């Protein structure tokens, strides 16, 4: 039996003071041959639709369950199938999505969501409050984001059209977490969420513009247009606003060999190709019918072992940070300054409320003599400084090689310990295995989501800084974004003093698409709705 909704009281959106203008690095993606992606026309009126998108995608998803993993492949596929109550636009402002509107109580402990009418799941059933409650209860208890940011929170059904999230402690960044992309707080039918529990879901039914047709493990995911999709209102922006599936089918073809993806995009086998090797840029530039597409991909950083070993010495960490030429490090990785930029901030420049250059005097000093002095002032006694590296990711490996040379120049006994990627991830979990490693972090909607900051995190590096913890706490307890701004500066200063990481710079993701593809956009991953293909 189809359930109907009850009418409910009108609630005006009053949570603007609690949303964040974390300018979107990825949504500021630019096409290297033409105008920026965000300048492309985003409306979908009067556009011919149809056709099939074939994607050359580099990574196999281990699961398509959006609640239980932040894995990139899961994120990129599931965002087209599932939706959430709130979403981020291209400026990282929080906007309603499956919620028509929401409000936050004066004490910050109750979020009330009025759900959009006539939203339908891919199985034909209407989305109701009970589905939202079951989905969110699962996400709150099974996802890393839910557990970290909403401890002991509960979701309550008010009526068929209204739900409330009850928190134990107010947090400024709550709406931003609910609008984040991984692990996605996806809404699915109640019976699917409840049946799965702590296991992975067995059916992939959402409300998104595309529905899952087939998942052939290690081969492809096949999505098809959801004919009964109900779009949010408003101009398309990032992951918010108007959405429409303008192609009939999408194939995520899992092609782990990079050269095959490059050849596929140049020959027309693929319409869009992802994770392209940077040394293929000349081939892409010279290929007829292909357009390169760069999107902000996050930050590159040295992660220091603060738990034990030589670099648990604060002074020696500063010696390393003082010595390194960040431009040389990035050039060793990318060979072309189109693919990176120098920047001292944790946030992207467009994330206006989170961006701060406080402490920037400690960035990219490249002062060998000052670094040698710091080595002498430290407790370093010639111990081996182990740089953990992976041979399977060229840019990380090349920076590691450069870093070994830079550390030797200031008198450190630096060595490389090289693993394949899986072994690299395993090895860095043990503080006895390394003193530093190079890694990249995807753009995060809030600074709190960087795993290397909090003393409560188990992320390799094992930060222990009262000053960083205090700044993070003060940000979440601030009444408004404006009130939080001084604490963002304090956080930056604390990071550059303690050095849980040393930021190297910002990186760009390298994607290419055929000229027949129009309105392709990106925000922490591909956005395939509102995209057309000229057959």
Distance CA 185, CA 137 (A): 10
H or E segment at 517?
Answer: strand 517-518
Distance CA 478, CA 471 (A): 11
The fold of 15-289+515-533 is: D-Maltodextrin-Binding Protein; domain 2 (3.40.190)
Nearest to 364 by CA among 328, 401, 332, 412: 328
Report the CATH number of the 298-508 domain: 3.10.105.10
Q: What tokens does 28 get?
A: 């500021």
pTM: 0.83
pLDDT digits (tens, 9 = 90+) for 303-345: 999 999 999 999 999 999 999 999 999 999 998 999 999 999 9
pLDDT digits (tens, 9 = 90+) for 100-110: 999 999 999 99
Question: How is 67-119 classified by DSSP, letter by letter?
Answer: TS---HHHHHHHTTT---SEEE-TT--EEESSEEEEEE-TTS-EEEEEEPTT-
- Beta-bridge mates of residue 99: 115
The per-residue pLDDT for 41 is 42
The per-residue pLDDT for 21 is 32
Contact 529, 241 (CB under 8 A): no
**Which residue spans of the chain are classified as CATH 3.40.190.10?**
15-289+515-533
The per-residue pLDDT for 350 is 80
**Which residue spans of the chain are classified as CATH 3.10.105.10?**
298-508
Angle subtended at Cα 185 by Cα 143 and Cα 210, rounded to the nearest 5 degrees? 130
Question: How is 321-347 classified by DSSP, letter by letter?
Answer: HHH--HHHHHHHHHSSGGGEE----SS
pLDDT digits (tens, 9 = 90+) for 114-143: 999 999 999 999 999 999 999 999 999 999
Nearest to 302 by CA among 465, 461, 471: 461
Contact 254, 79 (CB under 8 A): no
3-state helix/strand/coil string of 462-505 = CCCCHHHHHHHHHHHHCCCHHHHHHHHHHHHHHHHHHCCEEEEE
């Amino acid at each position: 039996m189809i359930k109907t909704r009850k009418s409910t009281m009108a609630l005006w959106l009053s949570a603007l003071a609690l949303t964040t203008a974390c300018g979107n690095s990825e949504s500021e993606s630019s096409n290297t041959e033409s105008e920026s992606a965000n300048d492309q026309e985003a409306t979908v009126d009067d556009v011919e639709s149809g056709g099939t998108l074939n994607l050359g995608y580099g990574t196999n998803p281990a699961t398509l369950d959006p609640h239980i993993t932040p894995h990139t492949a899961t994120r990129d596929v599931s965002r087209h199938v599932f939706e959430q109550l709130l979403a981020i636009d291209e400026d990282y402002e929080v906007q309603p999505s499956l919620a028509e509107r929401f409000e936050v109580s004066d004490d910050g402990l109750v979020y009330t969501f009025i759900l959009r009418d006539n939203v339908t799941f891919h199985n034909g059933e209407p989305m109701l409050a009970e589905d939202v409650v079951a989905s969110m209860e699962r996400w709150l208890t099974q996802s890393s984001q839910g557990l970290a940011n909403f401890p002991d929170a509960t979701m309550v059904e008010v009526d068929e059209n209204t739900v409330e999230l009850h928190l134990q402690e107010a947090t400024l960044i709550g709406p931003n977490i609910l609008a984040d992309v991984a692990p996605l707080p996806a809404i699915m039918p109640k019976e699917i969420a409840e049946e799965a529990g702590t296991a992975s879901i067995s059916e992939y039914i959402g409300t998104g513009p595309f529905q899952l047709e087939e998942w052939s493990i290690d081969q492809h995911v096949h999505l098809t247009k959801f004919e009964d999709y109900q779009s949010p209102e408003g101009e398309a922006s990032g992951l918010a606003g108007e959405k429409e599936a303008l192609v009939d089918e999408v194939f995520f073809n899992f092609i782990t060999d990079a050269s095959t993806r490059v050849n596929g995009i140049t020959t027309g086998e693929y319409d869009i190709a992802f994770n392209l090797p940077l040394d293929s840029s000349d081939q892409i530039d010279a290929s007829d019918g292909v357009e390169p597409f760069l999107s902000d991909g996050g930050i590159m950083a040295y992660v220091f072992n603060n738990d034990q070993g030589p670099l648990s010495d604060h002074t020696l960490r500063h010696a390393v940070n003082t010595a390194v030429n960040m431009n040389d490090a990035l050039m060793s990785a990318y060979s072309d300054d189109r693919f990176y930029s120098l920047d001292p901030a944790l946030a992207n420049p467009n994330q206006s409320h989170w961006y701060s250059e406080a402490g920037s005097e400690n960035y990219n000093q490249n002062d060998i003599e000052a670094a040698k002095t710091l080595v002498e002032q430290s407790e370093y006694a010639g111990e081996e400084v182990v740089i953990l590296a992976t041979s399977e990711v060229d840019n990380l490996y090349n920076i590691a090689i450069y870093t070994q040379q830079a550390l030797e120049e200031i008198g450190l006994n630096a060595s490389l310990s090289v693993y394949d990627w899986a072994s690299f991830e395993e090895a860095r979990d043990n503080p006895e295995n390394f003193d530093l490693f190079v890694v990249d972090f995807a753009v995060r909607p809030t600074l709190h989501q960087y795993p290397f900051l909090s003393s409560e995190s188990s992320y390799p590096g094992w930060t222990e800084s009262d000053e960083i913890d205090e700044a993070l706490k003060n940000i979440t307890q601030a009444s408004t974004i404006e009130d939080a701004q001084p604490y963002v500066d304090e956080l930056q200063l604390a990071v550059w003093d303690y050095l849980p990481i040393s930021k190297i710079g910002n990186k760009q993701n390298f994607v290419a698409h055929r000229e027949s593809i129009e309105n392709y956009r990106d925000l922490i991953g591909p956005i395939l709705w509102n995209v057309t293909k000229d057959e």
